[in-house]
Amino acid sequence: MTILSFLELFDKCKSENKQIYEIAQEEEAFLSGEVIDVIRLRVLEDLLAMKDAIKNGLSSKEKAVSGWCGDDCAKLINNYAKKPAIFGTIFEKITTYALATAEENLRMGRIVACPTAGSCGIVPSVIVAVSEELKITENQQINGLLTAGLIGLIVSNKVQLAGAVAGCQAECGVASAMAAAALVQMLGGNSNEIINATALALKNILGLTCDPVCGLVEVPCIKRNAFLAVHAVTAAELALCGVESKIPIDEIVDTLKITGQLMSPLLKETSLGGLAKTKTAMNLEKKLRTQKPKI
């Protein structure tokens, strides 16, 4: 039953008159040998784990060993309490939830890799923030997460979702596409709109490098989660308004893979190029090498 392309997914939705989340739960049931009710319960567990990560991240200001990260979410919370964001409450929640989850990851807290730990804040922040503000039911959230999961699975059929393979376009980029798909599903979009949201999000982040400072999942990874979560909402809004990607999503995925192959190894999670080799980054690296470990 395994679906290998978005064209195949779209055709299946059309021929069977099913939504993407229905295909997703059937696919997962087939692969795992479980019934659909069990699959939905497992997705609910992931959803609740995402919400716990957000909650824990919102309540902590513990900084990382580098001293660079860990309190940015708190800065947003404090500022929004005094001055609302230009884009409103949903924007406030998406950005804070994305940072809260990514910062919880750096503290070695429990998160859901979706699709990776470095991009863990994007899908949860969009699903949870929008659901809270628009009163979207738990069942609809599960449907959104199932949709996102199948999107990630199909992309992973062609390219490994790892910065070491294809740069951050394969991590935060794919996460943004997954979040866009989930959002369109939760807002009542059809399969064509979901696939177009996926395409719009993914093609507009092609070429994103992976150049973590000091090899840590901190800079620029954490703040990138907030940026790419908002990117996902833009893609969803465009798709729901009828805007379509002129390049089909399967060709965009092929391009992502080729772009990853063309990308210098220095820019693929090796920390040998890009931001990781700026003067400031190298000074921090030197400081961390000489720093005495905490006991």
Ordered DSSP codes for 12-70: HHHHHT--HHHHHHHHHHHHHT--HHHHHHHHHHHHHHHHHHHHHHHT--PPPTTSSSS
Q: Which long-range contacts (CB under 8 A, 24 or more apart) does 290-294 make?
A: 291/65, 294/65
Q: How confident is the model at residue 65 (pLDDT cuts 50, 70, 90)?
A: confident
Q: Is the peptide bond before 220 cis (omega within 30 degrees of 0)?
A: yes
Domain residues of the chain, as ranges? 46-290
- Report, as an integer, the average pLDDT of 114-122: 98
Average pLDDT value for residue range 195-215: 98
- Spatial separation of the C-alpha atoms in residues 210 and 203, rounded to whole Å: 17
pLDDT digit string (tens) for 225-263? 999 999 999 999 999 999 999 999 999 999 999 999 999
DSSP SS3 for 206 = coil
Percent of the chain residues topping a pLDDT of 90: 95
Mean pLDDT of the chain: 96
DSSP string of 123-164? HHHHHHHHHHHHT--HHHHHHHHHHHHHHHHHHHTTS---HH
Residues 151-173: tens digit of each pLDDT: 999 999 999 999 999 999 999 99
DSSP annotation of 202 reads: H
Q: Widest CA span of the chain, in angstroms?
A: 62
The amino acid present at 43, given as its one-letter code, is V
- How many other C-beta atoms are found inside a 10 Å radius of the C-beta of residue 66? 18
- Counting DSSP H helices and E strands in the chain, the numbers are 13, 0
The CATH class for the domain spanning 46-290 reads mainly alpha
Residue 225 in tokens: 């989660």
pLDDT at 291: 79
What's the confidence (pLDDT) of residue 293? Answer: 59
Question: Of 13-17, 212-216, 285-289, which range is least confident?
Answer: 285-289
Confidence of residue 2 (pLDDT cuts 50, 70, 90): confident
